[in-house]
Amino acid sequence: MVDNNYYNKYHEYHYRGSQDNCNIICEKYRCCHGPQGPQGERGPQGETGPTGPMGPEGQQGSAGPIGRQGNTGQQGIQGEIGPTGPTGSTGATGATGATGPASTASIFIPFASGLSAPTTNTNASGQSTSVYAMGFGEHTLNAITLVSDTFSFVDTSAFSFIVPYNTTVESIYMTATNLAFTALTNINPYIILATAPRNSNNFTLRQETKTPTEIQYSQNMQYPSNTILYGSNTNINMTIPAGMRVAIACGFNTQGGNPTQGYQFYYTGGILFR
């Protein structure tokens, strides 16, 4: 076995002398380098060394882009009602609104002459010279003489009523019946309203409310008792102020034959006020 330490020193010394001396020495000690052999197989990986110390903290990176908005969350629970605030000042008075439609309320007043009936009369022109007034099953005991379409009740009569507010007469419906008789002229019984101021007993017939029968008792015809004729007067629209006295009068008119007549007729009907 060659002493490598010796060889190294000796070789270095003699190499400096001459190449021949070196060759002699190398041959003797067989220390000359041969050709490089092939690379050996790779050895196994060594064990992982211990972790080195932590390096210094790096600089903070720049802020990233803002992410997209998330979905809307569920609505939270409603909070409690807060205390009532102070009352605000009164606002200015608003403009007056338009007038509303007229009232459509209506009142119906029935009437009937009741038992018996006084005789009323006509003149040669076929116009009434007397009427009688009735109420709700009663009537004046006697006929009342007309003076230019006016009349007055006697001291013991009070066949009228008073309207408590401004009202309008809309319509009147009526019927008339008779005792058995033969008509000596053409006869149309009628109903008519008469009015008087609240402090007066002088009534005036209101011609716009006159409601005669639609057909007549015809001249020379015989009629049994309770032959009913009827009539109506609609769309009268006559205004009666509050407090006015109203009487329901009844009579008849004649035409042809002998117009001056006196008959008994019985009346029922109804008046519609609005």
Rg (CA), the chain: 68
* Among the ranges given (7-16, 48-57, 61-70, 261-270), the one the predictor scored with the smallest mean pLDDT: 7-16
> Residue for token digits 């009913």?
228
263: its two tokens: 């008959």
What percent of the chain shows pLDDT beyond 90?
56
Phi, psi angles (nearest 5°) of residue 210: -65, 125
pLDDT of residue 220: 97
Cα 185–chain centre separation: 60
CATH 2.60.120 is right for the domain spanning 107-273: yes
CA distances from 41 to 44, 45, 157 (A): 9, 12, 155
Encoded tokens for 131: 């009427």
Query: What span, in angstroms and rounded, lies between the C-alpha atoms of 123 and 126?
Result: 5
Arithmetic mean of pLDDT over the chain: 87
- The model's pLDDT over 234-272, given as tens digits with 9 standing for 90+, comes to 999 999 999 999 999 999 999 999 999 999 999 999 999
28: left (phi over 0), alpha (psi -120 to 50) or beta: alpha
Distance CA(152)–CA(203), nearest Å, equals 6
Where residue 15 falls among pLDDT bands split at 50, 70, 90? very low
Residues pairing with 167 in the sheet: 240
* 31/77: higher pLDDT: 77
Task: State whether residue 130 is helix, strand or coil.
Answer: strand
pLDDT of res. 157: 76
Give which of 8, 6, 52, 56 is closest to 33, Cα–Cα. Answer: 8
3-state SS assignment for residue 273: strand
What tokens does 105 get? 């309320």
Q: What distance in Å separates the CA atoms of residue 231 and residue 172, rounded to the nearest whole number?
A: 8
User: Backbone phi, then psi, for 172, in 5-degree steps?
Assistant: -135, 130
Domain boundaries, the chain: 1-31, 107-273
What value does the mean pLDDT take over residues 211-216?
98
| Statement: residue 102 has pLDDT above 80 | no
Residue 5 token pair: 């330490």
Distances (CA, A) of 167 to 208, 211, 244: 15, 19, 10
